[in-house]
């Protein structure tokens, strides 16, 4: 892959398209030479010269405008031999490009590039495997902007069907992440198949954006989590450990797991657990939970409060004061949480 700022197929136009563009350029060159030749030899205007050239190389020959001078007739013979076969070749290439979808692919690629350029505060998902697919579904449901990077052909085809914003390339390369907008991204999630690949992606991403939130998948192998943290990961998750613990808890405390599932996945019931940031301009600042009216006005339960540099405050008391910068973990109706979010 070239390190020119645009990865893989995004760096260069295909060989077929390069030939197609070259063919168009040469066709325009023939039109220009023919037009100038007729203007000089027949003493006619530019538009008449262009018209005469066009009907000559396309073998139309209406007869309303013909060469009159010997030099013009000789030039016409040469133009026929040089231009007619070439025009047929160009038309054939145009038909071929339209039939095999090259033009459509270029147009789709151009649209995708514009979407990527417009992304701001987005998440970059590296890897569209089983875990990456689920992450994308959740981000899509919660209307979070994201971009997917993968290099497997079958995954690229699925991304096209789902109409996600995506790139084909190696996420461990600087050029790929830069083109994905890592400088303006909110976070990066590395969930490719191996710890080594996730390590390289994390290391590259941290070097390009020191302040980026980086969530990295670990296989759970000994030492993998430590190395990923050293590479710059903000959080490291092992799906295997989480899955194993969840299965064990379903046996030990199934009702608790059912409650967690209800709060996290009960969108059909309108129930939702969400985190809300209290801004400095919020009317809730410096009020306690009782005074805020969150419970009375919105019928929302404040499960916990997260503050910077302090432990999580679970089940806060009614006289707990709300401060700017607090993150409220709330549970309640979807619409009511949305209404409270607007007040924050």
pTM: 0.62
Q: What pLDDT score does 5 carry? A: 45
Name residue 44's beta-bridge partners.
none
CATH 2.60.40.1120 for domain 8-102: no
What residue ranges do the domains of the chain occupy? 8-102, 120-242, 269-343
- Alpha-carbon radius of gyration of the chain: 31
Q: How far apart are CA 310 and CA 180, in angstroms?
A: 35
Residue 93, CB-side half-sphere exposure with 13 Å CA sphere: 18
Give buried/exposed letters for 62-93 (b at 16+ CB in 10 A, else e). eeebebeeeebeebbeebeeebeeebeebeeb
Closest-CA residue to 40 (of 27, 31, 49, 32) = 49
Q: What pLDDT score does 266 carry? A: 54
Name residue 168's beta-bridge partners.
150
Sheet holding 235-237, edge to edge: 166-168, 146-150, 123-126, 187-190, 213-217, 235-237
Would you say 191 and 28 are in contact if contact means Cβ atoms under 8 Å apart? no
Q: What pLDDT score does 101 carry? A: 55
Q: Give the C-alpha distances (Å, rounded to integers) separating 9 from 2, 114, 151.
A: 10, 16, 10
Q: Which residues of the chain have pLDDT under 70?
A: 1-20, 61-66, 68, 93-94, 96-105, 263-270
Q: What pLDDT score does 10 carry? A: 44
Q: How far apart are CA 325 and CA 337, in angstroms?
A: 18
Contacts 24+ apart (CB under 8 A), 261-267: 263/331, 267/141, 267/334
Q: How far apart are CA 150 and CA 171, in angstroms?
A: 7
Report the relative pairing of strands 123-126 and 187-190 from DSSP bridges: parallel
Best CATH choice for the domain 269-343 from the list 3.30.70.1450, 3.40.50.970, 3.30.2400.10, 3.30.300.30: 3.30.70.1450
Q: How far apart are CA 6 and CA 28, in angstroms?
A: 29
Nearest-5° Cα angle at 98, 93 to 100: 95
Q: Give the C-alpha distances (Å, rounded to integers) separating 172 from 30, 149, 187.
A: 46, 10, 15
Q: What pLDDT score does 185 carry? A: 96
Q: Assign domain 120-242 to a CATH class.
A: alpha beta
Structure token pair of residue 287:
């009020």
By CB neighbour count within 10 A (0-12 exposed, 13-18 middle, 19+ buried), where does 177 fall? buried
CB atoms within 10 A of CB 123: 20
Name residue 302's beta-bridge partners.
330
As a residue count, the chain comes to 344
Residue with tokens 């301009």: 281
């Amino acid at each position: 892959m070239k390190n020119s700022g645009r990865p893989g197929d995004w760096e260069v136009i295909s060989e077929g398209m390069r030939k197609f563009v070259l063919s168009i350029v040469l066709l325009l060159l023939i039109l220009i030479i023919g037009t100038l030749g007729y203007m000089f030899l027949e003493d006619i205007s530019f538009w008449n010269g262009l018209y005469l050239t066009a009907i000559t190389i396309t073998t139309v020959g209406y007869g309303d405008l013909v060469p009159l001078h010997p030099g013009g007739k000789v030039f016409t013979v040469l133009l026929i031999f040089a231009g007619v076969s070439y025009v047929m070749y160009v038309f054939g290439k145009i038909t071929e490009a339209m039939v095999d979808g090259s033009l459509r692919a270029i147009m789709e690629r151009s649209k995708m590039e514009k979407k990527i350029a417009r992304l701001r505060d987005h998440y970059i998902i590296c890897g569209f495997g089983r875990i990456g697919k689920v992450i994308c579904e959740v981000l899509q449901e919660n209307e979070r902007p994201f971009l997917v990077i993968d290099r497997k052909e079958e995954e690229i085809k699925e991304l096209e069907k789902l109409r996600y914003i995506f790139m084909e390339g190696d996420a461990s390369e600087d050029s790929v992440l830069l083109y994905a907008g890592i400088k303006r991204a909110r976070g990066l999630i590395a969930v490719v198949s191996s710890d080594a690949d996730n390590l390289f992606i994390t290391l590259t991403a941290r070097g390009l954006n020191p302040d980026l939130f980086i969530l990295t998948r670990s296989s759970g192998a000994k030492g993998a989590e430590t190395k990923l943290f050293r590479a710059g990961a903000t959080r490291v998750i092992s799906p295997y450990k989480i899955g194993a613990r969840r299965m064990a808890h379903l046996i030990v405390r199934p009702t608790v797991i059912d409650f967690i599932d209800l709060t996290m996945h009960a969108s059909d019931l309108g129930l939702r657990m969400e985190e809300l940031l209290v801004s400095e301009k919020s009317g809730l600042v410096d009020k306690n939970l009782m005074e805020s009216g969150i419970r009375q006005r919105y019928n929302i339960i404040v499960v916990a409060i997260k503050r910077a540099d302090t432990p999580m405050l679970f089940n806060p008391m009614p006289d707990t004061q709300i401060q700017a910068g607090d993150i409220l973990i709330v549970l309640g109706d979807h619409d009511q949480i949305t209404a409270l979010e607007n007040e924050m």
